[in-house]
């Protein structure tokens, strides 16, 4: 099985492939098999405590399971996890295209020009490589800085500047909050921000997500319960917004050459706009295969391709549940999609002999 991407999704896939008695080959574009975590902003800590953040088979090290691991601790954890797997993990290898292979399976082409025959493919390439940047009126003529939060690292470069952060999710609020002491910041959102307490009844929210089963709810059920995405908060973010320490406004309507125009018609100069407006799956290498819809999203149900049954996905937002795109949830999805893939690949091999005759290696 060829696994595209060596982040938490790719590593969880590799473990599940091994458990299914098959051989995983992980192809990772980066220098290490630790996913996108090194690229996240410096101050990032997990929103779930260590005890609820592990992948299958390996707990986070450390004495206090209730701490919130920092970004670099997650990187170190994934490094250890990768090393613990008896899997062929090749770093510095970017998959350029996946195509059907005559006789069965796929031909995976790397950016180095290698062609690898695969009985099955797991697309675990994340979304950090494909940040979503909206286009607003006047944006092309705006002379200030426009940046997606994916390219934000730390607050110091914004010292003394006028900055707008656009978005109502965890990243938007965290970044605006850490910029506020250094810069003149406005958090621009379409609607008032919804906060959810980090701790309820003396327990972290993730305890309750687990015991109530909310963590496993599919999107249609969850959205009936919770209308809008919510920001996890110990109380500091809500206090900052309520007290005016953090200015919150509706999103501006247009850029001007040196700033923005607000919904009330007033304009002001702005040095930088940071969009924390989400990500899209990073799957361009599947275009030639015909596995994607016109909008670039995969044709899939629950992570199993509906156009190519020997192709599965991991790490998609709401792939099977609320927790699909998290450290704590991806292992469950890996078990599910790899079981289906293993069955399919074994069936293909038994039924027609196609896989074996065509000497697919992975």
Q: For binding to ligand FAD (CB under 6 A), which residues are involved?
A: 4-10, 27-30, 35-37, 40, 44, 46-48, 94-95, 124-126, 128-129, 171, 282, 285, 315, 325-328
Nearest distance from C-beta of residue 359 to ligand FAD, angstroms: 24
Other beta carbons within 10 angstroms of residue 58's beta carbon come to 15
- Kindly state the smallest distance separating residue 261's Cβ from ligand FAD, in Å: 29
**CB of 249 vs ligand FAD, minimal distance in Å:** 23
CB nearer to ligand FAD: give 49 or 144. Answer: 49
How is residue 3 written in tokens? 């696994």
Least gap, CB of 30 to ligand FAD (angstroms): 4
Give the shortest CB-349-to-ligand FAD separation in angstroms. Answer: 26
Tokens at residue 66, please? 């209730």
Rounded to whole angstroms, the Cα distance separating 28 from 8 reads: 12
Sequence-distant (6+) residues with CB within 8 A of 296 are 280, 281, 283, 284
CB of 243 to ligand FAD, least distance (A): 26
Q: Which two tokens stand for residue 245?
A: 């320490």
Structure tokens at 243: 């007290």
| Residue 114 or 242 with smaller CB distance to ligand FAD | 114
| Smaller CB separation from ligand FAD, 36 or 189 | 36
Q: Provide the minimum distance between the beta carbon of 54 and ligand FAD in the complex, in angstroms, as a whole number.
A: 10
- CA dihedral over 263, 264, 265, 269, signed as positive or negative: negative
Residue number with CB closer to ligand FAD (186 or 325): 325
Pairwise CA distance, residues 165 & 185, whole Å: 7
Question: What count of other Cβ atoms lies within 10 Å of the Cβ of residue 189?
Answer: 22
What is the C-alpha to C-alpha distance for residues 151 and 158, in angstroms, rounded to an integer? 14
Minimum distance between the CB of residue 71 and ligand FAD, rounded to whole angstroms? 8
Dihedral (CA of 15, 16, 21, 22) sign: negative
- The helix-helix angle for 8-19 and 71-84 (nearest 10°) equals 20
* Residue number, 7 or 104, with CB nearest to ligand FAD: 7
Q: Which residues face 249 on adjacent strands?
A: 188
Q: Which is nearer to ligand FAD, 357 or 361 (CB)?
A: 361
CB 14 within 8 A of CB 26: yes
> 47 or 362, CB closer to ligand FAD?
47
Q: Count Cα atoms within 13 angstroms, Cβ side, for 92.
A: 2
Of 162 and 320, the one with the shorter C-beta distance to ligand FAD is: 320
């Amino acid at each position: 099985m060829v696994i595209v991407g060596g982040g938490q999704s790719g590593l969880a896939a590799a473990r599940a492939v091994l458990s299914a008695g098959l051989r995983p080959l992980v192809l990772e574009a980066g220098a290490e098999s630790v996913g996108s975590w090194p690229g996240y902003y410096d101050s990032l800590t997990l929103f779930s405590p260590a005890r609820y953040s592990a992948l299958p088979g390996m707990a986070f090290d450390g004495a206090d399971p209730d701490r919130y691991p920092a970004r670099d601790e997650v990187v170190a954890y994934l490094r250890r996890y990768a090393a613990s797997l008896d899997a062929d993990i090749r770093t510095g290898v970017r998959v350029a295209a996946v195509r059907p292979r005559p006789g069965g399976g796929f031909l995976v082409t790397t950016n180095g020009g290698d062609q690898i025959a695969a009985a099955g493919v797991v697309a675990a390439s994340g979304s950090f490589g494909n940040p979503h940047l909206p286009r607003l009126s006047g944006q092309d003529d705006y002379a200030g800085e426009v940046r997606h939060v994916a390219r934000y690292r730390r607050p110091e470069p914004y010292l003394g500047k006028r900055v707008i952060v656009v978005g109502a999710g965890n990243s938007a609020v965290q970044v605006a909050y850490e910029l506020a002491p250094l810069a003149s910041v406005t958090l621009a959102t379409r609607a008032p921000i919804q906060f959810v307490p980090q701790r309820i009844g003396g327990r972290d929210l993730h305890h309750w997500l687990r015991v109530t089963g909310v963590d496993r709810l599919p999107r249609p059920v969850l959205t009936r319960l919770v209308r809008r995405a919510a920001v996890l908060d110990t109380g500091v973010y809500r206090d900052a917004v309520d007290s005016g320490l953090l200015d919150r406004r509706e999103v501006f309507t247009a850029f001007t050459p040196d700033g923005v125009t607000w919904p009330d018609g007033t304009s002001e100069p702005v040095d930088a706009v940071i969009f924390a407006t989400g990500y899209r799956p990073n799957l361009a290498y599947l275009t030639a295969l015909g596995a994607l819809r016109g909008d670039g999203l995969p044709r899939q149900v629950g992570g199993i391709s509906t156009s190519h049954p020997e192709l599965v996905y991991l790490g998609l937002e709401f792939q099977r549940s609320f927790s699909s795109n998290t450290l704590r949830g991806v292992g469950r999805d890996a078990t599910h999609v790899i079981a289906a893939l293993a069955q399919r690949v074994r069936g293909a091999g038994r039924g027609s002999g196609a896989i074996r005759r065509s000497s697919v290696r992975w």
